[in-house]
């Protein structure tokens, strides 16, 4: 006879997940969602940011080091069933592409690899951008000359991922805001889809999407562009009512 109150294991129990960029705003939300789902978590962040993970010190393994340092990544992803990596365009030292290349090279065969970036990344050139997004990109590209930001390196990073035969997902975030969760964001294959029009996602839900993507095989080798599920455009173009 079935027990009346069976213990249902959470999705990640017994599984090891590496979170690269764990000390950032998105990273810390991902750590929380991963722990809530029973994953054993290894977090990677710059040495100077290790204290930002102090709240989780007794619950996760933290490896300090630059995320584009191949030795750091090789050690961190060892034995991990999933790797979530935050791709950021900071600096002009190939930080994004170095991080992506190291993850692709060292993650164990068959591991789920989930990367974050923004809507500006396009896989097939079929995304349709508003003038606001285009203008923001022009400004971001100008920061290359101040040696602060290198958006082109994020393109190099995602081109590496798109041409890889690993089990990757590239999650493309809309503009982000803080606030309590509204649930799992909705997604479309291309920016320009009316469901994305509101261009806003809670950062905690972006993180939720990253973690949930690990167990969603329909997202393997997809680059979903996401938007908050309670935004006006999502409500207008999905079956969910307000
Ligand atoms: N912000 C947005 O509106 C927005 C919109 C769409 C998509 N996204 C995407 O969402 C993800 C997270 O973005 P976020 O804005 O929320 O930021 P975030 O989570 O706070 O992440 C910033 C990350 O960059 C690292 N970082 C900061 N300065 C750095 C530097 N000079 N050199 C190397 N690493 C540095 C941080 O590490 P430390 O903890 O060590 O500082 C942290 O891991 C990114 O993939 C981004 O492309 C963001």
* Joined tokens for residue 102: 């190291």
- With H, G, I as helix, E, B as strand and everything else as coil, classify residue 85: strand
CA of 205 to the centre of ligand 1 (A): 16
Return the best residue to mutate from 22, 26, 28, 208 for the ligand 1 pocket (most ligand atoms within 8 A of CB).
26
Q: Decide: 177 in ligand 1 pocket, CB within 6 A.
A: no
Which atom of ligand 1 lies closest to the CA of 89? 47
Q: What is the mean pLDDT of the chain?
A: 91
Domain boundaries, the chain: 16-237
Task: Give me the pLDDT at residue 93, please.
Answer: 77
Q: Decide: 87 in ligand 1 pocket, CB within 6 A.
A: yes
Q: Cα–Cα distance between 135 and 145 in angstroms, integer? A: 17
Q: For 227, which DSSP code? A: E
Q: Decide: 53 in ligand 1 pocket, CB within 6 A.
A: no
CA of 104 to the centre of ligand 1 (A): 20
Task: Give me the pLDDT at residue 242, please.
Answer: 45
Query: In this structure, which residue's CA is closest to atom 37 in ligand 1?
Result: 24
Task: Compute the Cα dihedral for 130, 131, 134, 140 and give only its sign.
Answer: negative
CA of 148 to the centre of ligand 1 (A): 13
Q: How many CA atoms lie within 13 A of 33 on its CB side?
A: 25
At 136, which helix (H) or strand (E)?
Answer: helix 131-142
Task: Give me the pLDDT at residue 147, please.
Answer: 65
* Lowest pLDDT segment from 140-149, 167-176, 215-224, 229-238: 140-149
Query: In this structure, which residue's CA is closest to atom 22 in ligand 1?
Result: 24
Task: Give me the pLDDT at residue 8, please.
Answer: 42
Task: Give me the pLDDT at residue 92, please.
Answer: 66
What average pLDDT does range 162-181 have in this prediction? 98
CATH number of 16-237, picked from 1.50.10.10, 3.40.50.720, 3.40.50.300, 1.10.287.980: 3.40.50.720
Return the best residue to mutate from 18, 20, 21 for the ligand 1 pocket (most ligand atoms within 8 A of CB).
21
Of the pLDDT bands very low, low, confident and very high (cuts 50, 70, 90), residue 150 is confident
Is the pLDDT confidence value at 239 over 90? no
Query: In this structure, which residue's CA is closest to atom 34 in ligand 1?
Result: 90
The 10s digit of each residue's pLDDT in 5-42 is 444 445 665 699 999 999 999 999 999 999 999 999 99
What average pLDDT does range 110-123 have in this prediction? 96
Query: In this structure, which residue's CA is closest to atom 1 in ligand 1?
Result: 176
Task: Give me the pLDDT at residue 141, please.
Answer: 77
Is the pLDDT confidence value at 241 over 90? no
Task: Give me the pLDDT at residue 7, please.
Answer: 41
Q: Decide: 209 in ligand 1 pocket, CB within 6 A.
A: no
Task: Give me the pLDDT at residue 1, please.
Answer: 37
The 10s digit of each residue's pLDDT in 41-60 is 999 999 999 999 999 999 99
Is the pLDDT confidence value at 199 over 80? yes
- How many Cβ atoms from other residues are within 10 Å of residue 136's Cβ? 16
Q: Decide: 52 in ligand 1 pocket, CB within 6 A.
A: yes
Task: Give me the pLDDT at residue 53, please.
Answer: 98
Burial status of residue 150 (CB atoms within 10 A of its CB: 0-12, 13-18, 19 or more): buried
Q: Decide: 43 in ligand 1 pocket, CB within 6 A.
A: no
- With H, G, I as helix, E, B as strand and everything else as coil, classify residue 121: coil
Q: Cα–Cα distance between 49 and 23 in angstroms, integer? A: 6
> What angle do the packed helices 151-162 and 131-142 form, to 10 degrees?
110
Question: How big is the CA angle at 140 (ends 138 and 141), to the nearest 5 degrees?
Answer: 65
């Amino acid at each position: 006879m079935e027990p009346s109150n069976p213990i249902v294991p959470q999705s990640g129990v017994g599984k090891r997940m590496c979170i690269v960029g764990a000390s950032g705003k998105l990273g810390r939300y991902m750590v929380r969602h991963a722990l809530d789902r029973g994953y054993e978590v290894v977090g990677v962040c710059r040495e100077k940011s290790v204290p930002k993970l102090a709240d989780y010190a007794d619950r996760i393994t933290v490896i300090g080091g630059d995320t584009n340092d191949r030795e750091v990544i090789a050690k961190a992803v060892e034995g991990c069933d999933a790797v979530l990596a935050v791709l950021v365009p900071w600096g002009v030292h190939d930080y994004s592409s170095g991080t992506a290349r190291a993850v692709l090279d060292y993650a164990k065969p068959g591991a789920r690899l989930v990367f974050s970036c923004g809507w500006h990344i396009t896989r097939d050139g079929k995304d349709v951008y508003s003038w606001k997004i285009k203008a923001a990109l022009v400004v971001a590209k100008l920061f290359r000359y101040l040696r602060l930001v290198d958006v082109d390196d994020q393109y190099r990073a995602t081109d590496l991922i798109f041409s890889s035969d690993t089990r990757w997902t590239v999650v493309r975030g809309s503009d982000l805001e803080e606030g309590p969760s509204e649930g799992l964001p909705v997604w479309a294959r291309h920016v320009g889809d009316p469901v994305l029009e509101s261009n806003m996602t809670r950062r905690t839900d972006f993180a939720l999407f990253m973690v949930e993507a690990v167990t969603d095989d329909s997202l393997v080798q997809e680059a979903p562009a996401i938007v908050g599920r309670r935004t006006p455009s999502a409500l207008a173009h999905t079956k969910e009512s307000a």
